[in-house]
Amino acid sequence: MKHTARTTLGIGAMATTAALALSACAGEAESADVGSGDGLTPVTLQLQWVAQAQFAGYYAALDQGYYEDEGLDVTIVEAGTDTVPIDVLAAGDADYAISWVPKVLGSIEQGTEVTNVAQVFERSGTLQIAFADSGISGPEDLAGKNVGSWGYGNEWELFAGMQEAGLDTSSDISLVQQAFDMNGFLAGDIDAAQAMTYNEYAQVLETVNPDTGELYQPEDLTVIDWNDVGTAMLQDAIWADTARLAEDDAYAETTVKFIKASLQGWAYARDDAEAAAGIVTAAGSTLGQSHQLWQTNEVNKLIWPSTSGVGTINADQWEQTVDIAMGTQNETGASIITSEPPETAYSNDYVEQALAELTEDGIDVLGEDFAPIDVTLLEGGE
């Protein structure tokens, strides 16, 4: 009798395990991507992070059918903490990848053959923020302070700015490893923290100031904007496989189509930020609504108005990025690269074709009269 009870228990345990195993399989079936049985070219895009408005243009292009109109069946792949988009691209697991230029320059010098085919973000979104009463208003004021940085290739504009201001980046400041949240800054462990205009800066403005009982206000903070300092580096760009571009005509054609549809997605995000933010939330982002809209709006500011057509790699900005990458030393004295990148590191050929086609279709690729919207952040970004 007793044994029967135990056997039942055992069977119960086994059944639970099996049910769980099956439920995992069932969950997978839903997320499996749709095959391309309808003559569409399958394309995989590797992002740098999880779904959020930073990638609004690609999600908008997917949602609005711009990719499909070009004959592409695009799968957008999110990144984890240990994903290096360029490695995924180089390994052939993705057709295109989104990454910051300085992060890729190092990989290129190590022998990875990738090409920047569209520079989507024209301006840098990286700030160094401090409280207004800290007396920090420029890079020169960082001397002797606790300076926060995420590291992993996100720190070069900061180091370039400090170097330009005459600081010794290894001895004049104390570098603090910064987490994903702004707790270290709010608690005072970090005097000047790294913040993206579209993310961490907003996180601070969504937090209640314990002194006033209301949300922190922009005037409570001072901001060092690397675009103003002159040490901005190029950020989100679309990268393609160099060898495939040269050898595979179909891939080269697909590249033009992919850029065209993506840029059209960005134009959509510019013209209707609220809809674009909604698309990103529908794509599975768990960011709060006001935060998502803020992010869409701030990302728009990094793209629009565009100097020479959205996605164009401007030679002067590329040069500035490369110069900083070669001439800036981090806290260990290392620089990103030691020599000029090869000519294949960027190409305007594909984006120019895409822009010509977009202009023909009547899409505004300059956004000269772009005006950002006003976004009110709510507590917690809700």
Partner 1 sequence: MRRQVLTGTAGVISLVALWEGYKLLAPDDGVVVAGMTVLPRANDVAMPHLWDMAARAAAPVTSAPGADPLWLAVGQAAAFTLGVAAVGWVIGVTVGLLTATLMQRFRTAESALLPWVVLSQTVPLIALAPLVRRWGSQLEIGAFAWQDWMSVAVIASYLAFFPVSVGALRGLSSPDAVHVDLLRSYGVGWWRTYSTLRLPAAVPHLLPAVRLAAANAVVGAVVAEVSIGLRGGIGRMIVEFGASASADPAKQWSPIAGAVVVGLVAAGVCVLLSRALDRYRVSEVS
List contacts with partner 1 (CB under 8 A): 3, 6-7, 9-14, 16-17, 20-24, 27-28, 31-32, 50, 78-84, 87-88, 91, 93, 179-183, 186-187, 199, 203-204, 206-207, 210, 281, 284, 286-289, 291, 378-382
Q: Which is nearer to partner 1, 322 or 377 (CB)?
A: 377
Tracing tokens 């057509």 back to the chain, one arrives at 309
Q: Which is nearer to partner 1, 138 or 180 (CB)?
A: 180
For residues 26 and 199, give the distance between their C-alpha atoms in angstroms, rounded to a whole number.
Answer: 34
Q: Which two tokens stand for residue 108?
A: 């290129």
Q: Which is nearer to partner 1, 196 or 224 (CB)?
A: 196
Provide, rounded to whole angstroms, the least separation between the CB of residue 325 and partner 1: 24
Specify burial of residue 272 (Cβ count, 10 A radius: 0-12, 13-18, 19+). Answer: middle
Peptide bond between residue 218 and the one before it cis (omega within 30 degrees of 0): no
Provide, rounded to whole angstroms, the least separation between the CB of residue 346 and partner 1: 26
Given a contact cutoff of 8 angstroms between Cβ atoms, the answer to whether 346 and 242 are in contact is no
Provide, rounded to whole angstroms, the least separation between the CB of residue 195 and partner 1: 11
Beta strands in the chain (DSSP E): 41-46, 72-77, 96-99, 114-118, 126-131, 146-149, 174-177, 192-196, 221-225, 237-241
Q: Which is nearer to partner 1, 39 or 80 (CB)?
A: 80
Q: Which is nearer to partner 1, 5 or 368 (CB)?
A: 5
Provide, rounded to whole angstroms, the least separation between the CB of residue 15 and partner 1: 10
Provide, rounded to whole angstroms, the least separation between the CB of residue 104 and partner 1: 17
Given a contact cutoff of 8 angstroms between Cβ atoms, the answer to whether 322 and 105 are in contact is yes
Provide, rounded to whole angstroms, the least separation between the CB of residue 215 and partner 1: 9
- What is the b/e burial string over 115-148, where b = at least 16 CB atoms within 10 angstroms of the residue's CB? bbbbbbbbbbbbbbbbbeeeebeebebbbebbbb
| Max CA separation in the chain (angstroms) | 84
DSSP label at 188? T
Provide, rounded to whole angstroms, the least separation between the CB of residue 92 and partner 1: 9
Q: Which is nearer to partner 1, 130 or 259 (CB)?
A: 130
Q: Which is nearer to partner 1, 267 or 377 (CB)?
A: 377
Q: In what order do the strands lie in the sheet with 41-46?
A: 72-77, 41-46, 96-99, 237-241, 114-118
Provide, rounded to whole angstroms, the least separation between the CB of residue 149 and partner 1: 17
96-99 and 41-46 beta bridge pairing: parallel
Give the count of beta carbons closer than 10 Å to the beta carbon of residue 341. Answer: 20
Q: Which is nearer to partner 1, 180 or 307 (CB)?
A: 180
Provide, rounded to whole angstroms, the least separation between the CB of residue 37 and partner 1: 13
Integer CA distances (angstroms), 61 to 247, 276, 323, in order: 27, 10, 34
Integer CA distances (angstroms), 308 to 69, 122, 303, 337, in order: 25, 10, 11, 27
Q: Which is nearer to partner 1, 72 or 204 (CB)?
A: 204
